[in-house]
Structure 1
Amino acid sequence: MSIEPLSGQRRVRITDRHTKLDFAEELRCILEEDYPQATKVVLVTDNLNTHGLHALYEAFEPEHAGRLARRLEWHFTPEHASWLNIAEIELSALSTQCLGGRIASRKVLEDKIAIWEQKRNARQVRIDWQFRSENARIKLRRLYPRYKPV
């Protein structure tokens, strides 16, 4: 899943697994197919072990991987805070709005997701991401050091 939260556009690509090679291919699609003219693409991902620059170099020849990597501005959500990942929010919407019940085949899955994606993109459904840095010390207090008065 890739999403532009401000424009309300998303892209869902279905793979059999979620490996680093699948992730590298997703990045290639974003950079070469979705945004071929962009000089820089801002990418926000969680810290899953498949989400890293190494995936590009394992999937593609070094020159190709380097060209892709130079076009990425990479940001990671804090560890143990995948709920901050905008794609996770969108995947939750996909799950609740589209994937209820048993799905008979991959073709049915692809068709359902394509219809959902098209409708959501047509309505330009944006994510109202309200987490702000001033809330970080409250929501993520366990990640901040504790100081005892002297």
Structure 2
Amino acid sequence: MASYKVTLTKEERSMLMAITKKGSHKSIKVRNAYVLLNCDSGKYGEKKTNKQICDILKIGSRTIDRVKKLFVEDGLDVVLKGKVSGRVYKKKIDGEAEAHIIALSCSEPPKGYGRWSLRLLADKAVELKYLDSVSHEAIRQTFKKNELKPWRVKGWVIPPQQNGQFVADMEKVLDVYKRPYDRDNPVICMDESPKQLIEETKISIAMKPGQDKKVDYEYSRNGVCNILMANEPLTGKRYPKITKTKTKQDWAVFIKETIDAHYAKQDKITLVMDNYGTHTTGSFYETFASEEAKRLMDKIDFIFTPKHGSWLNMAEIEINMMDRECMARRIGEAEKLISEISCWTENLNEAKKKIHWKFTKQDADKKLAKHYVA
């Protein structure tokens, strides 16, 4: 390749320096700016050899020569922005075809298919003669522009439209969450979730610089335990417990232990929880003597989240956080799980980490309007 000499003016150097120091630019633009600055043989530059530039920028000598050639033959704008192609590309998917494809993606997929894929949509669009031919990449670009992802499905349970009971129970929960902190009647949220005990069968390979931690696909399943969680959102306290089973008695004992250990001085507590079959006042009478069951009943003001509305329970958020921060790994023994959860709980309780609830009645009016009678 012929030798090309780069000579920059003072203004060109200033512009290139600005590109390398601030702003949001494509990596190739920043790289070319660095190359030109280091190749500048003008009176403002400090020219370096190709080898020195290669060592600094970690690029090949041919790349440097190509940038220099482009600068000399086509100018600075082409180096930074690229050549403008003279070709005019005809848009393959016009507005009419795009509308057909979007409508197709919102319909049921052909029999034998669980969902629409990009390739399936491309084949179907040609079969239905929306287009003579089209690639799955062109379909993808169409969906990207319209912010559609027909191959993705989110799980969500939606109650029937205009479900008065759902609205009533939801607003009752939201009213409770609006209350200011009351030391004599604190709001406690409660939820529970199963956890599989998974044990490694082979020793993992520790993470090293440039290498991820490696765990073997093989594992041993040591059964399932149950995690019960009570949390007080306004004070940043949480009280988990691990049990072997998930029965009415487990729930009743957990509620009693939580009250006696942390709320013995309060005359009343407000307990928000999901309406599970085990979460009933009758569970107290099936577990304790009638006097003790009555004492617990008188102590608690029960607030149940609506059916299909467990997302209104802040204890569910607490369990999800614990799952991500503490339990997102293989733990094969209940004793170790108890120990790890205890450490996690102690740290968060000491820091008084709170849940900042933002969903209000006004949000419900906007997002769940279809569940209200017009």
Name the residue aligned to 1:111: 339
Name the residue aligned to 1:144: 372
Name the residue aligned to 1:26: 254
Q: Which amino acid aligns with 1:118?
A: E
Cα deviation for residue 75 of structure 1 reads 0.6
CA–CA separation in structure 1 for the residues paired with 2:247 and 2:357: 27
Percent of pairs identical after alignment?
Answer: 36
Does the 8 Å CA contact 2:239/2:258 hold for their aligned counterparts?
Answer: no
Matched, 1:36 2:258: no
Which secondary structure does the structure 2 equivalent of 1:14 belong to?
A: strand
Matched, 1:80 2:289: no
Name the residue aligned to 2:102: none
Cα deviation for residue 73 of structure 1 reads 1.0
* More divergent stretch after superposition (49-58 vs 35-44): 49-58
Q: Which amino acid aligns with 1:14?
A: I
Q: Which amino acid aligns with 1:60?
A: F
Q: Which amino acid aligns with 1:103?
A: I
CA–CA separation in structure 2 for the residues paired with 1:94 and 1:67: 32
Does the 8 Å CA contact 2:248/2:278 hold for their aligned counterparts?
Answer: yes
Matched, 1:50 2:304: no
1:99 to 312, 327, 350: 327
Distance 1:22 1:143, change over 3 A: farther
Unaligned runs of 5+ in 1: none
Cα deviation for residue 144 of structure 1 reads 3.0
Q: Which amino acid aligns with 1:86?
A: M
Distance 1:143 1:48, change over 3 A: farther
Name the residue aligned to 2:293: 65
Cα deviation for residue 142 of structure 1 reads 5.0
When normalised by structure 1's length, the TM-score is: 0.91
When normalised by structure 2's length, the TM-score is: 0.38
Calculate the aligned-residue CA RMSD, in Å: 1.3
Q: Deviations over 1:85-135 (max 9, x none)?
A: 010000000000000121021111011100000011011000001111222
Which secondary structure does the structure 2 equivalent of 1:29 belong to?
A: helix
Q: Which amino acid aligns with 1:106?
A: A
Name the residue aligned to 2:63: none
Q: Which amino acid aligns with 1:12?
A: P
Which secondary structure does the structure 2 equivalent of 1:13 belong to?
A: strand
2:244 to 6, 16, 32: 16
Greater length-normalized contact order (CA 8 Å, ≥ 6 residues apart): 1
Unaligned runs of 5+ in 2: 1-228
Does the 8 Å CA contact 2:249/2:286 hold for their aligned counterparts?
Answer: yes
What is the total number of aligned residue pairs between the two structures?
Answer: 146
